[in-house]
Structure 1
Amino acid sequence: MSGAGGLSGPDSRVETISRLAQWRIDTFGPCSYRRSDAFKLGIWNWYLSVEKSRSIYVRLFPEPGRVAKERPPLARFVLRATWAGPPRRSCVSPVHEQLLRSSDDFVWQADVMSQGRFTIDVEFFDLRVATNNATESSSSIWPNECTAVQNVASKSTLGCLSRLLTESIHVDVTINTTDGVLKAHKAILAACSPVFESMFLHDLKEKESSTINIDDMCLESCSALLGFIYGTIKQDQFWKHRLLLLAAANKYNISDIKDCCEESLLEDINSSNVLERLHVAWLYQLEKLKKGCLAYLFVFGKIYDVRDEINSFFHHADRELMLEMFQEVLTVWKPI
């Protein structure tokens, strides 16, 4: 690797969102080698480096140190090199699964190269802590990062509430779902939701009959809702039902569930779900999720990955949402 100024430069910053890292390089200048600034994803600090000869050679590696040595990352990821053009050109790597300890462990050769400004994307599908270099014994770091559910639902003080639900101790309200019946407690439901509280305070049919009809949730998803309220929900149960939990949280004004769902949906945005997430964010007025989706599409340039789906999206999207998307384009667009 050669060239003066081979380390950091004025455009060495790597931007990150969700599981995507993006490095924009305006020019190599007189050098043939560039290294990015450090960026944080998972529990590691990372670097990207690019070497220019007849092709572009991209390296991804963790920052040397105790964390990388004692808990080396086993990463599953894909890289993309995109030249602004005109014409716009891209080169996408295969999906790699690689144990990464140093800059010697991985290098990707881009098949095409153009002149001028270009972008390197790294999208992580999974990050695992390798144990004894064995893939099968590694553990993913991301499920452990979704602590919002665990912090709310795993406290020891919820043990008694869990027993009330699982053992049906002194239940006093029946919940009818689309395909089954559940039992719960008026006081607990009222304490977590002002909507439920209103049902039992005023002379409504729910107070008189001690019955709530939830006709937009099945038994399984409603069990997940009660599981969150009582502290019995499991991580995989939350992930499976989080969109329905978000709808219920919005309907019954349960802010803790709504906030937790928004954080979770923001965590794993990708090209296959970003338009759905954007619609959900608009529907339930989730500003953080909406800004994350718009940034993913326009700031990080992933709008090109969903151009086949965007026409259908525009046919059903709210006009105010389309206006916000257009304003985002005007904000981030810069003449080449």
Structure 2
Amino acid sequence: MSERAYRVDTTPRLAQWRIETLSSCTYRKSDPFKIGLWNWYLAVEKNKQLYVKLYPEVSSLTREQPPIASFVIKIVSPASPNRKTLIHPGISDKQLKNSDDFVWATDTLLSGRLIIDVEFLDLKIAPPSGGEPASIWTSYQIEKQSTTTVLNSLSWMLAEGIHTDITINAADGSIGAHRAVLATRSPVFRSMFSHNLREKELSTVNISDMSFDACQAFLNYIYGNFKQDEFLNHRIALLQAADKYDMSDLKEACHESLTEDIDTKNVLERLQVAHLHHLPKLKRSCMRYLVNFGKIYEICEDFNAFLLGADRELIAEIFQEVLGAWKGF
């Protein structure tokens, strides 16, 4: 069978699968096709009944934001008299996650060439924060474009120093910023600028415990100008700033990221950071890496030096973990 037999032709809202022949006791699945944000599949099965399935490809996007679909689906027999067409009554606002969510069974067994025709009337997704589902073809795209434009504008304001009204003094340099933006993102900054504190009077904020590069990364995050390499290079400094300026979203982002690339070179530093900043997931991950996977024996000298300066409470936790692991053998 040719590759063409599995291809689905599409427009932005219409999908058509042309099947030349479909014999009895046959199952066929199309190639993936893109409609909206998702890849989709059509499948047909001919046995005692004719079954048609429509479902999105399994992916992280489908799991996190499954499509809520409204569509009209038809089975057309072009070679039959009067171009016989079966039309499903219609699907409205149905959430589709897997191949069992939409199955159309019909007793009419059409023969010869078939066309499976799907016209998507709407595709919606539910906002991650909750609320009513929104169409990806109207409000979703407008909102996405608007958000992108705003973030680009904020990034440009910071990069070009447009109408800055506060100076951030890092350990080795200064950066102009905007009180309103900082106050919106951090309750600590908001308090500084709302009361008659030194920062309000002098229009400066001293962050002497951050390097210029780390401070730039901190401000880029605040202004929505996320840069992956910059973030990865300054995660610990960003974590400290997140704690200091009460930015829970940044703290959680650093927490999650620091758990993802633990190795023998950084595990002791990360363990100390986890203890100081009360990061339970990172602490558990470091303990497990050191004890359960036996990496503590590969860095004996570094570990002994670490114990000389570590907090007693943390040392006690480590040895409890070691004792627990020994009991497990």
Which bracket does the TM-score occupy, shorter chain normalised?
Answer: 0.5 to 0.7
Give 3-state SS (helix, strand or coil) of 1:203's partner.
Answer: coil
Give 3-state SS (helix, strand or coil) of 1:232's partner.
Answer: coil
Whole-angstrom CA distance in 2 between matches of 1:215 and 1:251: 13
Whole-angstrom CA distance in 1 between matches of 2:281 and 2:173: 35
Residue 267, structure 1, aligned to residue 260, structure 2: yes
Whole-angstrom CA distance in 2 between matches of 1:197 and 1:237: 26
Match of 1:316 in 2: 309
Give 3-state SS (helix, strand or coil) of 2:220's partner.
Answer: helix
Match of 1:202 in 2: 195
Q: What are the Cα deviations for residues 94-129 of structure 1, in whole angstroms up to 9, with x where unaligned?
A: xxxxxxxxxxxxxxxxxxxxxxxxxxxxxxxxxxxx
Match of 1:236 in 2: 229
Query: Taking structure 2 as the reference length, what is the TM-score of the superposition?
Result: 0.53
Give 3-state SS (helix, strand or coil) of 2:210's partner.
Answer: coil
The Cα shift of 1:160 comes to 2.2
Whole-angstrom CA distance in 2 between matches of 1:223 and 1:155: 20
Give 3-state SS (helix, strand or coil) of 1:320's partner.
Answer: helix
Match of 1:216 in 2: 209
Match of 1:293 in 2: 286
Task: Give 1:43-82 correspondences, 5 Å limit.
Answer: none
Residue 181, structure 1, aligned to residue 174, structure 2: yes
Task: Give 1:125-136 correspondences, 5 Å limit.
Answer: none
Whole-angstrom CA distance in 1 between matches of 2:202 and 2:255: 34
Query: Taking structure 1 as the reference length, what is the TM-score of the superposition?
Result: 0.52
- Unaligned runs of 5+ residues in structure 1 are 1-153
Give 3-state SS (helix, strand or coil) of 2:237's partner.
Answer: helix
Whole-angstrom CA distance in 2 between matches of 1:178 and 1:310: 31
Q: What are the Cα deviations for residues 148-185 of structure 1, in whole angstroms up to 9, with x where unaligned?
A: xxxxxx95542221122122222111111222221111
Q: What are the Cα deviations for residues 132-153 of structure 1, in whole angstroms up to 9, with x where unaligned?
A: xxxxxxxxxxxxxxxxxxxxxx
Amino acid corresponding to residue 279 of structure 2 in structure 1: L
Amino acid corresponding to residue 314 of structure 2 in structure 1: L
Match of 1:277 in 2: 270
Whole-angstrom CA distance in 2 between matches of 1:157 and 1:327: 50
Amino acid corresponding to residue 198 of structure 1 in structure 2: S
The Cα shift of 1:215 comes to 1.1
Amino acid corresponding to residue 239 of structure 2 in structure 1: L
Give 3-state SS (helix, strand or coil) of 2:299's partner.
Answer: helix
Whole-angstrom CA distance in 1 between matches of 2:152 and 2:328: 59
Whole-angstrom CA distance in 2 between matches of 1:170 and 1:250: 28
Match of 2:246 in 1: 253
Amino acid corresponding to residue 151 of structure 2 in structure 1: L
- Quickly say closer, same or farther: Cα 1:293–1:156, change in 2 above 3 A: farther
Residue 327, structure 1, aligned to residue 320, structure 2: yes
Match of 2:111 in 1: none
Whole-angstrom CA distance in 2 between matches of 1:168 and 1:252: 22
Aligned residues: 184
The root-mean-square deviation of aligned C-alpha atoms, in Å, is 1.9
Amino acid corresponding to residue 229 of structure 1 in structure 2: I
Give 3-state SS (helix, strand or coil) of 2:263's partner.
Answer: coil
Match of 1:119 in 2: none
Q: Which has the larger radius of gyration?
A: 2
The Cα shift of 1:335 comes to 6.3
- Quickly say closer, same or farther: Cα 1:204–1:335, change in 2 above 3 A: closer
- Unaligned runs of 5+ residues in structure 2 are 1-146
